[in-house]
Amino acid sequence: AQKVTQAQTEISVVEKEDVTLDCVYETRDTTYYLFWYKQPPSGELVFLIRRNSFDEQNEISGRYSWNFQKSTSSFNFTITASQVVDSAVYFCALSEPYSGAGSYQLTFGKGTKLSVIP
């Protein structure tokens, strides 16, 4: 069965520091998708990135970057030069096309609460 582990429950950093959020996943499928979502204090889940299992290229979007390593089943998220607005709960999630009647349902980790201190 699929599983996502976010070992860091809470992280606090001082503004402008870099921070990496860890995500480790388990799956028996060779085809799958990985996601990161941000949940700010307002409550909604904001989509950040989707990566398919055949694309191991790292991705950079502004201050955000993602490191996907199939060898270690990890999909880590780094925020460079953190800002107070980055304070939120971040969720890593996994989706498999061949489980759950093909619904591509998301399996979430427990989330990491990031606090950026000014």
Partner 1 sequence: EAGVTQFPSHSVIEKGQTVTLRCDPISGHDNLYWYRRVMGKEIKFLLHFVKESKQDESGMPNNRFLAERTGGTYSTLKVQPAELEDSGVYFCASSQARGTEAFFGQGTRLTVV
**List of residues contacting partner 1 (CB under 8 A):** 4, 33, 35, 37, 42-47, 50, 91, 95, 97, 100-111
Between 11 and 106, name the residue whose CB sits nearer to partner 1.
106
Nearer CB in complex with partner 1: 37/75: 37
Residue 75 class from Cβ within 10 Å (0-12 exposed, 13-18 middle, 19+ buried)?
A: buried
Closest separation in Å from C-beta 101 to partner 1: 4
CB of 87 to partner 1, least distance (A): 17
Nearer to partner 1, 10 or 15 (CB): 10
How far apart are CB 85 and partner 1 at their closest, in Å? 18
Task: Quote the DSSP letter at residue 78.
Answer: E
Q: Which residue lies nearer to partner 1 by CB, 51 or 87? A: 51
Query: CB 50: neighbour CB atoms within 10 A?
Result: 12
CA distance 76 to 58: 10
Compute the least distance from the CB of residue 11 to partner 1, in Å. Answer: 18
Distance, CA of 53 to CA of 70 (rounded, Å): 8
Among residues 13, 25, 3, the alpha carbon closest in space to that of 115 is found at 13
